[in-house]
Structure formats: C-alpha cells, structure tokens
C-alpha cells in the first residue's frame, strides 16, 4: 500500500539502502555477547557516530549480572562415516545459542535430548537459545530429524563460554533542549531478517537523518542485546532518565503486514503521537495495550522508571509463522516495507520535535483574518497541501497556553502537519507566541 502521509515537504528517503544493510548483516552470528555483536556494531559505526561500550562479565546490574561471553566457531552433526548432516556454517540457527562445547559420539536417544525441531513447521529450522541453561543443542528441520535413524552420530560444537564482556552501541544526537527521545533496537539475534535486522537498519538510517536535522529535542539511539542489554544500559544511565520524554522500541519493521503499536505502561504523549500519525497515514494498523511481555519496553516501563516508551512493529512477536524460524530470511523482508516503516517513524519524530504549546497574543474573540491578508495566505497553503481556514481557526481557538499542537490535532482530528502549518501562519502574523518549555 503506498504511503499517503500528510507531512512536511522534506526529503523522506533514507540515506542508505535499508535492504542492503539487512543483507550485509544477515550472515553474522549474533547472541547476547560475543564477536558477532561487535562485528555488527562496527558495520553500523560506518554510518553513524556510534559509541561502542563493553561491560565486563560479572558486573552487577540491578538484580542481574552481566553474563559470560559466548563465541562459536563450528558446530555439526555427522554420521560415523563422516557425512555431515547438520552444519552451523550453512545456517547459524542450527546451534542452540550459548551451547557449551561438546565433542563425541552419541546414540540417537542421547542426541534426541538435545534436538529442537518444529513438528508443525517441519521444513523450518527453529531459533532457540539456552543463555542460562549450561547445556548444548542443535536446531534442525523436523523432516530432517525424522530421516536420521542411525544408531549413533558424531557431534561437535567448538565454542567457549568465558569471562569477557557485554557489548552495546549508543549514538546520542543532542538537541536545543535537554529533553530527549529514546529509540532502541536489539542486536542479539543471529540470521533473522525481520526480527531484528529490520530494526537495526531502520534505526541506523534514522540516526543518520536526525544528525543532519535542526533539532529541538535530543535523540538517543540504543543498539542493545535484548533484556540484559536494556537492564545494563538503565543501570549505567539513571542520571539521564529524567530527560527522556518519549521513547520507541523498534522491531519487526520489514514484513509486509500492517503496523502494530504497543502502548507504554502509562498514558503518554508518545502513544498519542504514534496513534495520530498512523490514523492519518491511510495505513492499516492496530493499537495494542501495554503488557509486561515482549521487547525491551518492559524494562524501560518497569515501575521504578515508568518511562514513556512504546513499541512499534509490523509483525507481532510470536504471532506470524516466520517468527524465530529460518523462514525469517531475506525473502521475508521487503525493501518497500522497510522504507515505509522508516517514513512512518521519521514522521513521528518530526511531530515530537515540532510539538509545542502556543498562546494567543490577544485571546479575546477571533482576530480579523482579512485585514491581515490571511485568507490569501491560507489559499496558497491549501494549494500546497498545507493548512485550511478551519485549521487556522482551530489553532487560534485552542492556543490558550494549555494545548500543545498534538492536543489540537487530536481534538480537531486534523493531521498534525496542517496544524503546524497553521501555527507558522499565526506566528508570522503576530497572533500567537510559543510558550517556553
């Protein structure tokens, strides 16, 4: 479905090819920790000013500790005659994440205790992890496992779990005020294109864009391993949390499905902003209530912080058949879906940056618009897709120092960009002034 967003006339194309970035990152094996995360962040750092942080194993972060670092070089199941049946090199989903090293000959019954398949999706490889299980395992198509009827098999996983560090990336783009927008995506999944290479690609492009924009707000872009990454970042950054006025977790943005927005824990401006943009975009979407399960919004929205952070996605975790399987591949992600997701989010960011409160210079009755030649101005705006006369009247009526532009847009059911255009007209005419934050 083509985009029909009513937005300001600015360049809305990402500065990089989002799909190509997904393709470049796809082969890399990632996990909570390890060299794959570092390699991924080094590629992102080619495009943005990314600070790469290392937090040592064992570091206390609230009720958690930074885990041991995991790296893997090889994993396979072979017949005793040497025929390789399952090979990590052909698909990095084949080895259970955080598998400890193992080498030896196992009976089929012994091996079965370490095999993960999807009987309902027998041709697909599942994605499974054992972060804290102290175990090893393989993931393979159920149909393949059904054909493996030898008495014994040779198994090898060449990995190590040792003291190291957790790695995450942060890019902060300061604004004119101390107030910030936080955007977060996770970097711990291996070759899964939608969940969550799509989020990485879109957020990288957004960071590039915001760095070259004139900004009222600051923008903090976090590339984190899921759960433990957000917990670690929060533990290290409590002093800056008061500045975060809006936040989005970005995930699953590359499939062709409708948009889903999961609200923050509390009724927040970010929830109204995203809902408003989606409502006036002509795009199919659904607004979901907050629930303490999902992505890292549940960390940012934990009760002691209760940050205004929602989650924007297309496919919902666990609700599409490709989720956490080998079907979440480069064919599943669509370049046009990535570009569309980028456009929606940059429109939300533009709204947040432009949302301010105006007050009439003289709020007694309506000002005389004709004397100020505003009807002619409105006519020109209308031809360019800008404000209408009714938009200006809404602005002048609600500019009481208490209603922000978003408040006005929601109440009048008018696209935000038109209210913003009306505000510029009224400001130029000396009819309103902006309230300081």
Is pLDDT at 381 greater than 80 in this prediction?
no
- What pLDDT sits at residue 373? 87
Q: How sure is the predictor about 437, in pLDDT bands with cuts at 50, 70 and 90?
A: low
Fold: same for 71-162 and 357-434: no
Consult the annotation and say whether 195 binds a ligand. yes
Q: What is the CATH number of domain 71-162?
A: 3.50.30.90
Tokens of 97: 């994440």
Task: Assign 375 to helix, strand or coil.
Answer: helix
Alpha helices in 101-182 (DSSP H): 108-112, 142-147
Tokens of 361: 């210079």
Is pLDDT at 12 greater than 80 in this prediction?
no
> CATH classification of 18-66+165-354 is 3.40.630.10, yes or no?
yes
Consult the annotation and say whether 114 binds a ligand. no
Angle at 395 between CA 392 and CA 397, to 5 degrees: 110
pTM for this predicted structure: 0.95
Instruction: Calculate the average pLDDT of the chain.
Output: 95
Please give the share of the chain, as a percent, with pLDDT higher than 90.
Answer: 92
Consult the annotation and say whether 160 binds a ligand. no
Between CA 277 and CA 349 the distance in angstroms is 10
Is pLDDT at 298 greater than 90 in this prediction?
yes
Q: What mean pLDDT comes out for the span 324-342?
A: 98
Is pLDDT at 97 greater than 50 in this prediction?
yes
Tokens of 402: 């208490």
User: 199 φ, ψ to 5°?
Assistant: -65, -40
> What pLDDT digit, counting tens, does each position of 177-223 carry?
999 999 999 999 999 999 999 999 999 999 999 999 999 999 999 99
Alpha helices in 301-358 (DSSP H): 335-354
Q: Among residues 201, 91, 122, 106, which one has the least CA distance to residue 154? A: 106
Q: How sure is the predictor about 382, in pLDDT bands with cuts at 50, 70 and 90?
A: low
Q: Tell me, what DSSP letter sits at residue 241?
A: G
Burial of 87: CB neighbours in 10 Å, binned 0-12, 13-18, 19+: middle
Q: What mean pLDDT comes out for the span 49-63?
A: 98
Cis geometry, peptide bond prior to residue 243 (ω within 30 degrees of 0): no
- Please answer whether residues 180 and 218 qualify as being in contact, where contact means their C-beta atoms are separated by less than 8 angstroms: yes
Is pLDDT at 375 greater than 70 in this prediction?
yes
Q: What mean pLDDT comes out for the span 369-385?
A: 73
Is pLDDT at 255 greater than 60 in this prediction?
yes
- What pLDDT sits at residue 8? 38
Q: Which sequence spans correspond to the domains of the chain?
A: 18-66+165-354, 71-162, 357-434
- Please answer whether residues 32 and 228 qualify as being in contact, where contact means their C-beta atoms are separated by less than 8 angstroms: yes
> CATH classification of 357-434 is 2.40.30.10, yes or no?
no
Q: How sure is the predictor about 387, in pLDDT bands with cuts at 50, 70 and 90?
A: confident
User: 352 φ, ψ to 5°?
Assistant: -60, -40
Angle at 87 between CA 82 and CA 93, to 5 degrees: 160
User: 85 φ, ψ to 5°?
Assistant: -105, -35
Tokens of 140: 């393979």
Between CA 437 and CA 243 the distance in angstroms is 13
Q: Among residues 28, 67, 33, 55, which one has the least CA distance to residue 44? A: 28
- Please answer whether residues 247 and 183 qualify as being in contact, where contact means their C-beta atoms are separated by less than 8 angstroms: yes
Tokens of 168: 């995450």
Q: Among residues 228, 188, 224, which one has the least CA distance to residue 64? A: 228
- Please answer whether residues 311 and 248 qualify as being in contact, where contact means their C-beta atoms are separated by less than 8 angstroms: yes
Between CA 165 and CA 209 the distance in angstroms is 31
Between CA 145 and CA 136 the distance in angstroms is 17
- What pLDDT sits at residue 11? 45
Between CA 206 and CA 321 the distance in angstroms is 28
First to last CA, the chain: 38
Q: Side-chain half-sphere of 86: how many Cα atoms within 13 Å?
A: 29
- Please answer whether residues 152 and 107 qualify as being in contact, where contact means their C-beta atoms are separated by less than 8 angstroms: yes
Q: Among residues 275, 178, 180, 252, which one has the least CA distance to residue 222? A: 180
Is pLDDT at 6 greater than 60 in this prediction?
no
> What pLDDT digit, counting tens, does each position of 73-95 carry?
999 999 999 999 999 999 999 99
CA 362 to mean position of chain CA atoms = 44
Contacts of 156 (CB under 8 A, 6+ apart): 74, 75, 76, 78, 102, 103
- Please answer whether residues 41 and 28 qualify as being in contact, where contact means their C-beta atoms are separated by less than 8 angstroms: no
């Amino acid at each position: 479905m083509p985009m029909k967003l009513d937005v300001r006339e600015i360049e809305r194309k990402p500065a990089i090819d989002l799909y190509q970035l997904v393709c470049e990152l796809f082969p890399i094996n990632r996990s909570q920790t390890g060299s794959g995360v570092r390699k991924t962040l080094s590629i992102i750092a080619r495009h943005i000013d990314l600070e790469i942080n290392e937090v040592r194993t064992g570091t206390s972060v609230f009720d958690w500790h930074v885990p041991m670092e995991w790296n893997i070089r090889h994993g396979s199941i072979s017949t005793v005659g040497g025929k390789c049946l399952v090979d990590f090199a052909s698909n990095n989903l084949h080895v259970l994440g955080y598998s400890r090293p193992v080498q030896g000959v196992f009976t089929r019954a012994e091996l079965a205790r370490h095999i993960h398949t999807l009987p309902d999706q027998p041709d697909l490889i599942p994605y499974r992890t054992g972060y804290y299980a102290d175990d090893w395992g393989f993931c393979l198509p159920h149909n393949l496992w059904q054909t493996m009827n030898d008495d014994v098999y040779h198994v090898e996983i060449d990995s190590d779990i040792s003291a190291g560090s957790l790695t995450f990336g942060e890019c902060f783009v300061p604004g004119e005020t101390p107030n910030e927008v936080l955007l977060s995506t996770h970097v711990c999944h291996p070759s899964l294109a939608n969940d969550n290479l799509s989020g990485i690609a879109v957020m990288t492009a957004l960071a590039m864009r915001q760095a070259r924009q004139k900004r009222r707000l600051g923008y903090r872009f976090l590339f984190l391993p899921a759960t433990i990454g957000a917990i670690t970042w929060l533990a290290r950054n409590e002093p800056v949390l008061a500045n975060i006025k809006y936040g989005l977790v970005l995930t699953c943005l590359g499939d062709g499905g409708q948009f889903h927005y999961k609200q923050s824990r509390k009724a927040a401006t970010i929830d109204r902003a995203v809902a408003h943009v989606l409502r006036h975009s002509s795009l199919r979407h659904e607004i979901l209530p907050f629930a303490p399960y999902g992505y890292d919004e549940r960390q940012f929205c934990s009760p002691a912080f209760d940050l205004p952070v929602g989650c924007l996605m297309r496919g919902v975790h666990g609700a599409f058949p490709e989720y956490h399987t080998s079907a979440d591949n480069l064919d599943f992600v669509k370049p046009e879906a990535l570009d569309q997701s980028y456009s929606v989010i940059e429109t939300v960011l533009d709204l947040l940056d432009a949302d301010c409160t105006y007050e009439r210079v003289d709020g007694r009755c309506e000002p005389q618009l004709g004397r100020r030649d505003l009807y002619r101005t409105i006519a020109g705006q209308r031809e360019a897709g800008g404000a209408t006369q009714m938009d200006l009247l809404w602005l002048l009526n609600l500019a009481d120092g208490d209603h922000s532009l978003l408040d006005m847009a929601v109440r009048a059911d008018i696209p935000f960009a038109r209210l913003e255009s009306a505000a510029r007209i009224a400001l130029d005419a000396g009819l309103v002034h902006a309230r300081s934050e």
